[in-house]
Amino acid sequence: MATIIPGMPILPGRVHIREVGPRDGLQNESITLSTAQKLQLIDALGATGLDQIESGSFVRPQNVPQMADSAEVFAQISRRPGVIYSAIAPNEVGARRAVAAGVDMVQVFLSASESHNQSNVNMGIEQSLAHVANMAAIMRGAGRPFDAVLSVSFGCPFEGDVPISRVLDLCGRLLDLGAEQLTLGDTTGMAHPVLVQQVVLAFQERFPRHPLRLHLHSARGAGLANILAAMQVGVSAFDSSVGGIGGCPFAPGAPGNLCTEDLVHMLHEMGIATGLDLPGLMATARMLEEMIGHEVPSQTIKAGICKHITDNA
């Protein structure tokens, strides 16, 4: 049931969260966890009720050594019924490796700016789109869906503002290639609530029948405010990272993934269901701190759960 607040837009009654810590979080850590540790983390996250967990990436090991064992991770995951274990892939080689490893959903990615695309995958946008077309064929042949992730949709660290028209044009081309879902990324935390609503409303006007997910960062402190702004215009699917770890290693100023337990705490306070076990997420974040050897950005594990929160999972 939607949350109704007098004088405010109707908010969704339930929000769906894709946990990205085992991939987008760990890839930005200086320490590389063992395969066994990654499996422990993924299993603990699955026990909290998450139904989508980004569990690895099939990129060149020399580029992201923290993800070099993704095939081994997928071979050994204790799969929970109903949970989608996804991974990202930058090209056809990565897509074939992901399919062979048993990935449930492959996330293909490119950037809304030429500069970031070059920095991230060492090619231009048109070349990336050609790869996406080939990857789409590979995934269709394997019966696997794909989610297209468009980075720097709200601003580029190299070029500054990114025209909304360009974001929409690229979304259209990705949908034409068969993307079942689009995720717009605020890769370096340049979004603000007004811009989030402008982009989302423009997307909905042009693609009214297509679902949209947002991958928002909190690098400059606006993450949760941007979540609220997005919910006010109908978005109910978001990415977040346990403990708030992670970011993009190929863009300056990119730390600050939204923290899963901070997001869930806020949503439960607002009366919005997530289906997630907040104490379990907090325990997992504390376990993660021990694994990586330093504190995580999570505020909820420092401040605790507000006593008036009821079980709103």
Q: What is the DSSP string of 227-264?
A: HHHHHHTT--EEEEBGGG--B-TTSTT-B-BPBHHHHH
Contacts of 116 (CB under 8 A, 6+ apart): 151, 152, 156, 157, 158, 159, 187, 250, 251
Out of 171, 248, 259, 306, which one is annotated catalytic?
Answer: 248
Report d(CA 246, CA 277) in Å as an integer: 22
* CB burial of residue 8 (10 Å; 0-12, 13-18, 19+): exposed
* CB burial of residue 28 (10 Å; 0-12, 13-18, 19+): middle
Report d(CA 178, CA 112) in Å as an integer: 18
Question: Which H or E run contains 53?
Answer: strand 52-57
SS3 for 79? coil
Report d(CA 28, CA 297) in Å as an integer: 13
Residue 40 CA: distances (Å) to CA of 33, 82, 85, 139? 10, 19, 14, 28
Residue 230 CA: distances (Å) to CA of 113, 213, 222? 22, 10, 12
Q: Which two tokens stand for residue 222?
A: 């606006």
Contacts of 34 (CB under 8 A, 6+ apart): none
Q: Which residue has the tokens 């590979």?
A: 138
Question: Cα 145 vs. chain centroid, distance in angstroms?
Answer: 16
The verdict on whether 306 is a catalytic residue reads no
Residues designated as active site: 248
